[in-house]
């Protein structure tokens, strides 16, 4: 593997000399999830680069978002490899002009550099590297670009997963952890809204005629926090509460937004059951309550397939003269959906970066070429394993 690794590293350096300019061209466009024209512009720009690399590219429209782009690059081997990334960011319109790409020492800063424009480029250049060193050694490479990962992919996940069906491995191009680690497992993510309903009344003249929804909600949240403590399948965070209008009115409505992190396949069912039990508790004020929930991402558990890919990545990195580990993280990504369908999946193949979703979001420039070489070598090994199998 060492000889092949050196060839991959040398080729990665050659083919990626313009990566910083291409990163600038991606970051200069406002592409928050709800900015359909901006996401589409970035998608079409990246699709043109895929076509230059030999891919055929199809755009699959979806309601309420910019859809999915699917690039296909056939080879002469047997390995079916998926690369998955997203085009959207969390930033509002105007951010690209306010914070254009800039360099501070070894870091590049700008909206989406880590999450995840840098990762998209790692995928592109890894394919070009592999094509130069081992042309056609795979069966098919599918490069899938999602437009709404930042809100859980509700409209695109079926098209995305359909495009990746049958893959021997899917590599997700989210950034590496700040220490370079890959991601082999992730928490699932769900959100719930718990609402209490009471009766409004004048707080000074006839408070006895009111039913205080805030008091009711606080009691329910206390019960929820107590009952959720020690749960192994999930963890809750009561992140936001609101209620009432002005202080001299008994509030007739209050609501809480609750984040739930899911650690196992049964975590969502257990969390939903607990929230429903809390909503059904007798009211301390005589009011009523209801709860609604939404699954953003199922948990990405460390399956045997994920574990094997992580171990393969560690061996590939060693042959490139650096080391990586694989970790669990509490955030979700499209890797959760892929892994939940039983497809071997490894995340964090993008460059080293951090401070996502903030003005300080950064990418470590020196990590680009090593990560390109790592992904190219990984794809070569997966293709080789498939051919031997």
| DSSP per-residue string spanning 217-251 | HHHHHHHHHHHHTT-SSEEEEEEEEEE-SSTTEE-
- Residue boundaries of the structural domains of the chain: 2-187+300-388, 188-297
Q: Which long-range contacts (CB under 8 A, 24 or more apart) does 20-24 make?
A: 20/108, 20/365, 22/49, 22/121, 23/101, 23/108, 23/110, 23/113, 23/117, 23/118, 23/121, 23/363, 24/100, 24/101
Q: How many CB atoms lie within 10 A of CB 185?
A: 22
CATH class of 2-187+300-388: alpha beta
Given this model, what pLDDT does residue 106 score? 96
Quick: pLDDT tens for 73-100. 999 998 999 999 999 999 999 999 999 9
Task: Output the pLDDT for position 48.
Answer: 99
Return the closest-CA partner of residue 378 out of 351, 346, 353. 346
Residues of the chain with pLDDT under 70: 385-389
pLDDT of residue 388: 58
Rounded Cα gap, residues 203 and 344, in angstroms: 60
Q: How far apart, in whole angstroms, are the C-alpha atoms of residue 368 and residue 365?
A: 6
Sign of CA dihedral 327, 328, 332, 336: positive
Helix axes 304-319, 368-388, angle to 10 degrees: 120
Long-range contacts of 34-40 (CB under 8 A, 24+ apart): 35/93, 36/65, 36/66, 38/93, 39/65, 39/66, 39/87, 39/88, 39/147, 40/66, 40/147
pLDDT for residue 2:
72
Contact (Cβ atoms closer than 8 angstroms) between residue 143 and residue 83: yes
d(CA 103, CA 96): 15
Q: What is the residue whose two structure tokens read 């992730």?
A: 186
- Which runs of E-coded beta strand occur in the chain? 56-60, 68-74, 80-86, 102-104, 107-109, 140-146, 169-172, 182-186, 188-197, 201-202, 234-243, 249-250, 253-262, 288-297, 326-329, 345-346, 353-354, 362-364
3-state secondary structure of 325: coil
The alpha carbon of residue 59 and the mean position of all alpha carbons in its chain are separated, in whole angstroms, by: 21
Residue 60's pLDDT is 98
Domain covering 188-297 in this structure, CATH number:
3.30.70.360
Residue 39 near residue 47 (C-beta atoms within 8 A): no
DSSP string, 278-305: HHTSPPSSS-EEEEEEEEEE--B---HH
| Bridge partners, 297 (sequence order) | 189
Active site residues: 88, 149
pLDDT at 265: 87
pLDDT at 230: 87
Q: Within 10 A of 230 (CB to CB), how many other CB atoms are there? A: 6
CA 313/CA 335 separation, integer angstroms? 16
State the pTM of this model: 0.92
The burial of 308, by beta-carbon neighbours within 10 Å (0-12 exposed, 13-18 middle, 19 or more buried), is given as middle
Distance CA 108, CA 369 (A): 14
């Amino acid at each position: 593997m060492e000889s092949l690794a050196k060839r991959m590293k040398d080729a990665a350096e050659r083919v990626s000399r313009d990566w910083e300019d291409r990163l600038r061209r991606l970051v200069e466009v406002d592409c928050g999830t709800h900015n359909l024209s901006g996401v589409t512009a970035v998608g079409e720009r990246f699709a043109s680069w895929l076509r230059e690399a030999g891919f055929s590219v199809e755009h699959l429209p979806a309601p309420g978002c910019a859809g999915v782009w699917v690039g296909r690059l056939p080879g002469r081997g047997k390995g079916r490899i998926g690369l998955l990334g997203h085009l959207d960011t969390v930033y509002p319109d105007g951010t690209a002009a306010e914070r254009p790409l800039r360099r501070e020492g070894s870091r590049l800063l700008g909206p989406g550099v880590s999450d995840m424009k840098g990762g998209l480029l790692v995928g592109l250049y890894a394919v070009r590297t592999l094509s130069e060193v081992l042309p056609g050694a795979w069966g098919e490479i599918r490069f899938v670009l999602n437009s709404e990962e930042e809100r859980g992919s509700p409209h695109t996940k079926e098209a995305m997963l359909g495009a990746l069906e049958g893959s021997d491995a899917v590599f997700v191009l989210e950034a590496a952890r700040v220490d370079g680690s890959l991601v082999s497992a992730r928490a699932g993510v769900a959100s719930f809204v718990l609402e209490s309903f009471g009766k409004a009344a004048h707080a000074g003249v006839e408070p006895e005629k009111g039913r205080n929804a805030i008091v009711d909600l606080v009691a329910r949240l206390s019960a929820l926090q107590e009952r959720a403590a020690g749960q192994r399948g999930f963890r809750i965070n009561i992140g936001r509460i609101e209620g009432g209008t002005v202080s001299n009115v008994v509030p007739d409505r209050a609501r809480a937004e609750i984040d739930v992190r899911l650690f196992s396949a049964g975590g969502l069912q257990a969390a939903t059951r607990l929230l429903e039990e809390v909503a059904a508790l007798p009211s301390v004020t005589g009011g009523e309550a209801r709860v609604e929930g939404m699954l953003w991402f199922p948990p990405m558990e460390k399956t045997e397939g994920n574990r094997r890919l992580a171990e393969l990545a560690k061996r590939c990195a060693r042959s490139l003269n650096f080391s990586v580990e694989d970790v669990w993280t509490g955030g979700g990504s499209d890797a959760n959906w892929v892994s939940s369908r039983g497809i071997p999946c490894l995340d964090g193949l993008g460059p080293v970066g951090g401070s996502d979703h903030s003005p300080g979001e950064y990418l470590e420039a020196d990590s680009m070429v090593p990560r390109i070489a790592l992904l190219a070598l990984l794809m070569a090994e997966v293709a080789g394993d498939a051919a031997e199998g």
